[in-house]
Amino acid sequence: MSNSLQRILLVGFAQLRRHGNTRVSWFIKLHRGLIQNGHYVHFFSDRDTAAFEAPFGLRDLGKKKANKRLIETAAEIEPSLIIIGHADIISNETIKALKEAHSCAIVHCNNDPLFIPSNVQRIQERLSVCDNAFISTGKLTIDEILPELTERTFHMPNPVDPAIERFDVSSTPAAQLQRDLIFCGNATKFTKRGETVSWLKEKLSPSVRFDAFGFFGKDPVWGKDYDAALASSAMGVNLNRDEGHHWYSSARMAQLGGNGLLVFTHSKNQFQTLFPDGSLVYYDELDQLKEQIEYFTKNDVDRAEQASRTRQFFHDEINNSLYAQYIIEQSLSLPFSHGYVWI
């Protein structure tokens, strides 16, 4: 780790009204990673602050006050780095004021996909006032979509946190688990993955115990219920809202793989160039995915070996401490303290 300890103002949505059931959030993992690395971190939740400051808790009425409170907070913290997440309540005018008042780097972290046009616009607008942006899609796609910003945009992966992805079902025989295969999801915009889930439900052998939370009348699962669902599953299918974007995946892949589930994911996202051989399981067509699921259901030793290799790679090389330190070092032009696999 770097010897340089920083004072960091982290600006995003803490989701306080969810009362603890969003701990898998990438922003919470970043917060924890920064602290684990010894840095002083103040988390400013823009939406929660707006609600606290507004009459009757009506968040839209508290936006102006939330921006004012962020400026006041920065004056008190005297940060060496400000990290702006999906803090849409914070205006670019406020970020300009922060830049004028503090001689520190200000960066934007964005974990939404680039196939959503409004998100591309959000990144472009933020980079009119922020120094750099860290984006969860891979660099080849970033440079294709934002070629004019190639020197100021960097890839950041979806990390695991050893205290959050704390299970290892790769060490448990599948027969002792509740299900062979799981998929969890409820987003319906910019995606046809519901059709894929339905196809799998229809085509998979009846011997494959498959649960899809958020589909077929099953409610989505969050918090401890999500933990329990992953901890009782042997394998998980990583269906993204859209496929074919360099190193793009929802955070689901880290949640599955980090807990020791065998992960099936589409080959078009090119994770073969990031993950070691014999870890993730790649497919091109749905028939191939079906065959692979049924093969690993019948061959549990192979399932356990690949799932264990995936879990180890996540925890060794794509964990929240490395992720947090990379963002600091890249933002502040510090020497890299680790050979980060994603750069």
What is the amino acid identity at position 143? Answer: D
Cβ contacts of residue 128 below 8 Å, gap of 6+? Answer: 92
What is the amino acid identity at position 74? Answer: A
pLDDT in tens, 144-187: 999 999 999 999 999 999 999 999 999 999 999 999 999 998 75
Give just the sign of the alpha carbon dihedral 255, 259, 265, 267: positive
CATH placement of domain 169-317 = 3.40.50.2000
CATH placement of domain 7-159+319-331 = 3.40.50.2000
Give just the sign of the alpha carbon dihedral 253, 258, 263, 269: positive
The residue length of the chain stands at 343
In three-state secondary structure terms, 335 is coil
Q: What is the DSSP string of 40-84?
A: EEEEEEHHHHHHHHSGGG-GGGGHHHHHHHHHHHHHHH--SEEEE
Task: Give residue 3's pLDDT.
Answer: 53
The tokens 């060794």 sit on which residue?
Answer: 316
Q: Encode burial over 216-239: b for 16+ CB neighbours within 10 A, e otherwise.
A: eeeeebbeeebbebbbbbbbbbbb
Domain boundaries, the chain: 7-159+319-331, 169-317
CATH topology match: 7-159+319-331 vs 169-317: yes
Q: Tokens representing 102?
A: 């503090």
What's 226-270 look like in SS3? HHHHHHCEEEEEECCCCCCCCCCCCCHHHHHHHCCCEEEEEHHHC
Q: What is the pTM of this model?
A: 0.94
Considering only CA atoms, which of 251, 286, 252 is closest in space to residue 266?
Answer: 286
Q: Cα–Cα distance between 22 and 235 in angstroms, integer? A: 22
Sheet of 210-213: strands edge to edge? 210-213, 179-184, 233-238, 262-266, 281-283
Q: Cα–Cα distance between 160 and 107 in angstroms, integer? A: 22
Do strands 81-84 and 132-135 pair parallel, antiparallel, or not at all (unpaired)?
A: unpaired
In three-state secondary structure terms, 91 is coil
Task: Give residue 188's pLDDT.
Answer: 58
Continuous H helices in 159-207:
193-203
What is the amino acid identity at position 116? Answer: I
pLDDT along the chain (343 residues), means of 10: 82 81 86 98 96 89 97 98 97 98 97 96 98 98 98 98 97 98 76 88 97 90 95 97 95 97 98 98 98 98 98 98 98 98 97
Q: Tokens representing 298?
A: 């019948």
Continuous H helices in the chain:
26-36, 46-53, 63-77, 92-101, 117-126, 139-145, 193-203, 223-231, 252-258, 286-298, 300-317, 320-331
